[in-house]
């Protein structure tokens, strides 16, 4: 068992999975040895050129230090179906998915479903991000693994927050809609499982996680009992999907109570801002900079702004989006309803993106004036006193805009 678990947390299974899916380091046997896009390769460049972008090195782990962030290796793609499938699947655990799917649910499906997903997502992701910097589980080594995402390579690898987000969002959506809308139970369960599985496999394909960090729910008990694996104590073996599953089970009985408090408690506005800010400012400190603190602030900020919006909407009896058409099945959606839904979505996304850009500029301008740095200084943005407030202000404004400003605009345009 110990040998099996060591194998699962090593880099070799990840490399073999990549080779089976047609992804090879340039020059490796079977990969064509080219790296030329004309021959099926994807040349990601190197750090040898004079104009190469150089960023701070990633944290030292287990006595090894990774190369400079942004210095990606050359690789060859032999199967473009898997390449685009897993690149797309990886995006389902990133900001582009959060900023589109969660608002879409709020604007077009159901307020209560959206509230539950956002709360579960915020809690799960905070726990996952903090766990990375407490446990300090290394990511797969390159070589032999091909790394496709050098930004996230600067973070630690355990647990997989992509897996956590995919599991929490897909299954909370499934659970929240199961008793409200008419669709086959099997269909919803399979959809949630496929969604989560694709995101998990994409983390192997992109070289970001070991097999054990994704599926350690199958071996965590055995690993905690091993006496000759001293590097990782017992709490180091909780996988991303396991954390999400446990939290969903624990939160589900209290969903209605939490939802009621968020909508009615007079303390909700204060707590929804103060608690996330305190958590962000007291984020675990590392010897080297990691984007996990900034990503965590982004998530908690968006959740805080949305929570404040939920409370305000309830206090002022804001009109809810009409969702009777979903009560009897999604197949009853007409062309007119689909057009209205798309109009809500595109108008809302434009407002959200404008809000993000505006508030980012305002926040950085104010902080730059306060701490005496130009807005283009990327190094200054990594400082605690700058990163936390600028990202929190930006994304809490995004969350508030999505739940308050956009619905008001929809009402003015007759899209409610």
Region 397-416 average pLDDT? 92
Integer Cα distance of 390 and 370 in angstroms: 12
The full 3-state SS of the chain, as one line of letters, equals: CHHHHHHHCCCHHHHHHHHHCCEEECCCCCCCCCCCHHHCEECCCCCCCCCCCCCCECCEECCEECCECCCCCCEEECCHHHHHHHHHHHHCCCHHHHHHHHHHHHHHCCHHHHHHHHHHHHHHHHHHHHHHHHHCCCCCCCCCCCCCCCCHHHCCCCCCHHHHHHHHHHHHHHHHHHCCCCCCHHHHHHHHHHHHHHHHHHHHHCCCCCHHHHHHHHCHHHHHCCCCCCCCCHHHHCCHHHHHHHHHHHHHHHHHHHHHHHHHCCCHHHHHHHHHHHHHHCCCCCCCCCCHHHHHHHHHHHHHHHHHHHHHHHHCCCCCCCCHHHCCCHHHCCHHHHHHHHHHHHHHHHHHHHHHHHHHHHHHHHHHHHHCCCCCCCCHHHCHHHHHHHHHHHHHHHHHHHHHHHHHHHHHCCCC
Q: Of 275 and 57, which is predicted with more confidence?
A: 275
Q: Would you say residue 321 lies in a domain?
A: yes
Q: Would you say residue 365 lies in a domain?
A: yes
Q: Of 251 and 152, which is predicted with more confidence?
A: 251
Active site amino acids: 162, 209
> Is the pTM here over 0.95, yes or no?
no
- pLDDT per residue as tens digits for the range 119-178: 888 988 888 888 877 777 777 777 777 887 766 666 766 777 787 888 888 888 988 888
Integer Cα distance of 245 and 167 in angstroms: 7
Q: Would you say residue 283 lies in a domain?
A: yes
Q: Would you say residue 189 lies in a domain?
A: no
Q: Is pLDDT above 50 for 278?
A: yes
Buried b (16+ CB within 10 A) or exposed e, 193-225: eebbbbbbbbbbbbbbbbbbbbbbbebbeebee
Predicted confidence at residue 13, as pLDDT, reads 75
Q: Is pLDDT above 90 for 300?
A: yes
Number of independent structural domains in the chain = 1
Predicted confidence at residue 219, as pLDDT, reads 37
Q: Would you say residue 164 lies in a domain?
A: no
Percent of the chain with pLDDT over 90: 23
Residue 167 and residue 244 in contact, taking contact as beta carbons nearer than 8 Å: yes
Percent of the chain with pLDDT over 70: 72
Predicted confidence at residue 42, as pLDDT, reads 45
Contacts (Cβ under 8 Å, ≥6 apart) of 168 = 117, 120, 121, 124, 125, 244, 247, 248
Region 213-219 average pLDDT? 45
Q: Is pLDDT above 70 for 367?
A: yes
Domain that holds residue 354: 266-416
Structure tokens at 330: 């999604």
Predicted confidence at residue 333, as pLDDT, reads 67
Q: Is pLDDT above 70 for 58?
A: no
Mean of per-residue pLDDT scores for the chain? 75
Structure tokens at 89: 């699947």
Predicted confidence at residue 36, as pLDDT, reads 38
- pLDDT per residue as tens digits for the range 231-246: 333 332 335 566 677 7
Region 367-395 average pLDDT? 89
Q: Of 326 and 169, which is predicted with more confidence?
A: 169
**Burial class of residue 183 (count of CB atoms within 10 Å of its CB; 0-12, 13-18, 19+):** middle
Q: Would you say residue 138 lies in a domain?
A: no
With CA atoms as reference, report the closest residue to 25 among 13, 34, 14, 17: 34
Q: Would you say residue 361 lies in a domain?
A: yes
Structure tokens at 359: 């508030």
Q: Would you say residue 380 lies in a domain?
A: yes
Integer Cα distance of 187 and 206 in angstroms: 28
């Amino acid at each position: 068992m110990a040998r099996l678990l060591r194998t699962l947390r090593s880099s070799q299974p990840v490399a073999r999975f990549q080779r089976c899916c047609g992804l090879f380091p340039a020059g490796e046997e079977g990969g064509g040895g080219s790296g030329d896009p004309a021959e099926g390769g994807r040349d990601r460049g190197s750090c040898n050129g004079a104009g190469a972008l150089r960023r701070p090195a990633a944290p030292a782990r287990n006595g090894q230090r990774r190369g400079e962030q942004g210095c990606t290796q050359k690789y060859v793609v032999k199967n473009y179906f898997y390449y685009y499938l897993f690149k797309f699947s990886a995006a389902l655990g990133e900001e582009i998915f959060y900023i589109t799917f969660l608002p879409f649910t709020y604007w077009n499906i159901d307020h209560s479903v959206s509230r539950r997903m956002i709360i579960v997502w915020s809690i799960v992701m905070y726990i996952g991000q903090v766990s990375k910097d407490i446990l300090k589980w290394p990511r797969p080594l390159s070589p032999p693994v091909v790394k496709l995402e050098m930004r996230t390579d600067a973070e630690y690898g355990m647990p997989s927050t992509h897996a956590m987000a995919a599991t929490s969002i897909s299954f909370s959506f499934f659970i929240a809609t199961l008793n409200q809308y008419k669709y086959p139970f099997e269909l919803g369960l399979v959809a949630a499982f496929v969604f989560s599985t694709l995101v998990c496999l994409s983390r192997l394909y992109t070289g970001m996680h070991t097999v054990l960090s994704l599926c350690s729910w199958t071996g965590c008990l055995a690993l905690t009992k091993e006496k000759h694996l001293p590097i990782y104590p017992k709490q180091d073996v909780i996988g991303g999907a396991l954390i999400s599953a446990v939290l969903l089970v624990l939160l589900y009985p209290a969903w209605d109570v939490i939802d009621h408090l968020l909508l009615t408690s007079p303390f909700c506005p204060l707590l929804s801002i103060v608690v996330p800010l305190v958590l962000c400012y007291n984020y675990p400190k590392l010897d080297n900079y990691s984007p996990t603190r900034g990503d965590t602030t982004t998530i908690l900020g968006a959740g805080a702004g949305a929570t404040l919006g939920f409370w305000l909407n309830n206090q002022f009896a804001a009109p809810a989006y009409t969702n009777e058409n979903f009560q009897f099945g999604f197949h009853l959606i007409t062309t007119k309803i689909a057009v209205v839904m798309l109009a809500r979505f595109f108008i809302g996304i434009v407002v959200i993106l404008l809000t993000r850009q505006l508030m980012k500029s305002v926040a950085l301008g104010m902080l730059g004036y306060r701490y005496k740095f130009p807005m283009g200084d990327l190094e200054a943005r990594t400082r605690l006193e700058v990163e936390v407030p600028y990202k929190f202000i930006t994304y809490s404004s995004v969350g508030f805009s999505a739940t308050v400003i956009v619905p008001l605009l929809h009402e003015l345009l007759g899209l409610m």
